Structure 1
Amino acid sequence: MSAPQPTVRRVLLASRNAKKLAELRRVVDAAGIVGLDVVGLDAVPKYPEEPETGATFEENALIKARAGARATGLPCLADDSGLSVDALNGMPGVLSARWSGRHGDDAANNDLLLSQIADVPDERRGAAFVSACALVKPDGSETVVRGQWRGIILREALGANGFGYDPLFIPDDAAAAGRTSAELSAQEKDSLSHRGKALAQLVPALAALAASD
């Protein structure tokens, strides 16, 4: 008689971003969590996605996670993240992905940011990547965490990895050795980044989910 197969629980990441999906899967694997099948929006029936109208990263993450859990009946994890630039009083913030007016146009967003802080001296070009991650279960329970990654904004883009503002951002971390976020390997970025820090805080909740009946 064959041994019973372990239960595998699906967890939805409310995103179609393949890099975010791969990042979450790496975090789950690195934590030794077994029994979770992390899938993205392309793996579930399409449902109406609510507009991200929140004033904070946390509010937007919850909007996406609640909608995903409600529509699919699966535990749903959502991230809302962006760049907070000191010289712009925390902007682009929640508008990071559409800062230039076109959602997800990384080149246009980067060009606009550089033009806006062109006259800011190097010592005042501090910034932080911020990520809020929300995990919402079908029973309505919610966990929200936040991660932050400090650094400075360059005057020109460097590196081909990552996405968004990565080529402009040099982390303060000594481990980055003066490289931009777009010059780090995926594993290096996982251990240092805002999203990596936020996801690491969700490991206990994800492990409990995997172990639940």
Structure 2
Amino acid sequence: MAAGRRRLDPGRLVIATHNRGKLAEIAALVGPLGFDPVAASDLGLPEPEETGDSFEANAALKALAAATAVSLPALADDSGLCVAALGGQPGIHSARWAGSDRDFARAMRNIEERLQQKGATGPDARRACFVAVLALAWPDGHVETVRGEVHGTLVWPPRGSAGFGYDPMFLPDGESRTFGEMSAAEKHGWSPGDPERPGLSHRARAFAALVEACLAG
């Protein structure tokens, strides 16, 4: 375990998200380590307003809100797509770009239209980064955060129907398929028994860092 970090033993763990895609991904990661994941929505917890100015701040406030509400450890994710040509947007507002109805097809079109307006047509002009920050909170208010990133290029039109969010337009470096064309196992294929291969996705990389920092003995 990383020096100075608090360790969490297996047990019931609140997954502080109402996003069913994120919930499935995170539950699949924590389950094999002996944790019993329960969704914040299943506990009747509201979604707190994300008022932070960074991925770390928003992940922490979501985890803390859940942990203190039900007196259980809670794990929250804040993630997004950062497009270099758009000054890092949509960034922490990635979900908001999809609107209240979570229409990511519309959000992807919005990004593409803005790139076209800037004349960003070549691969070098379409660089982007997926960021995921995981925050682990205890009921006493202690919080640990870790970050995972994956860099790539945005393609158009979107390709694939797997995954969720902006996955169909994100082509990770060194790959020939978008995240939208990959299975969950391909995208998140991380195992605690294989620390040298932390997984391809930003969330899998963040989770590998969390295991090293707080979940490993």
Question: What is the TM-score when the length of structure 2 is the normalising length?
Answer: 0.84
The one-letter amino acid of 1:206's match is L
> Does 1:194 find its partner at 2:193?
no
Distance 1:51 1:68 in 2: 12
Letter in 2 for 1:162: G
Provide Cα deviations, 1:153-206, integer angstroms capped at 9, x if missing partner: 11211000011111110000x3x3x10010011011112011111111111423
Task: Work out whether 1:38 is the aligned partner of 2:37.
Answer: yes
Structure 2 letter corresponding to 1:13: I
Paired position in structure 1 for 2:23: 21
Q: 14-23 or 57-66: which moved more?
A: 14-23
Q: Deviation at 1:47? A: 3.1
User: 2:211: which partner in 1?
Assistant: 203
C-alpha deviation, 1:101, in angstroms: 4.5
Distance 2:98 2:22 in 1: 22
2:13 aligned partner: 11
Q: CA deviation at 1:140?
A: 2.0
Q: Which of residues 106, 114, 117 in structure 1 aligns to 2:115?
A: 117
Greater C-alpha radius of gyration? 1
Structure 1 residue runs of 4 or more that deviate by more than 6 Å after TM superposition: none
In the alignment, is the contact (CA less than 8 A) between 2:150 and 2:201 conserved in 1?
A: yes
Structure 1: runs of 5 or more not aligned:
1-6, 209-213
Change beyond 3 A, Cα 1:102–1:132 = same
Cα distance in 1 for partners of 2:177, 2:47 equals 36
Tell me: CA distance 1:48–1:40, structure 2 relative to 1, closer, same or farther (3 Å).
closer
Q: Would the aligned equivalents of 2:10 and 2:33 in 1 still touch at CA under 8 Å?
A: no
For each residue in 1:109-140, what CA deviation from the matched residue of structure 2 results, as whole angstroms up to 9, or x when unmatched? Answer: 11111100022021210000001110001122
TM-score normalised over the length of structure 1: 0.85
Q: Secondary structure at the match of 1:128?
A: strand
* Cα distance between partner residues in 2 of 1:8 and 1:95: 32
8 Å Cα contact 2:17/2:47 also seen in 1: no
Aligned residues: 195
How far is 1:99 from its partner? Answer: 1.6
**Paired residue for 1:126?**
127
1:69 aligns with 2:67: yes
Gaps of 5+ in 2: 1-8, 189-198
Deviation at 1:96, TM superposition (A): 0.7
Q: Distance in 1 between matches of 2:138 and 2:86?
A: 36
The more displaced of 94-103 and 112-121 is 94-103
Post-superposition Cα deviations, 1:77-116, rounded to whole Å, max 9, x if no partner, equal 0001000001001011011111255462211111111100
**Is this contact kept in 1: 2:161–2:180, CA < 8 A?**
yes
CA shift digits 1:17-57 (9 cap, x unpaired) = 2332222233235xx522x101112331x234320011111
Question: What is the DSSP-based 3-state SS (H/G/I as helix, E as strand, rest coil) of the residue aligned with 2:112?
Answer: helix
* Other structure's SS at 2:94 match: helix
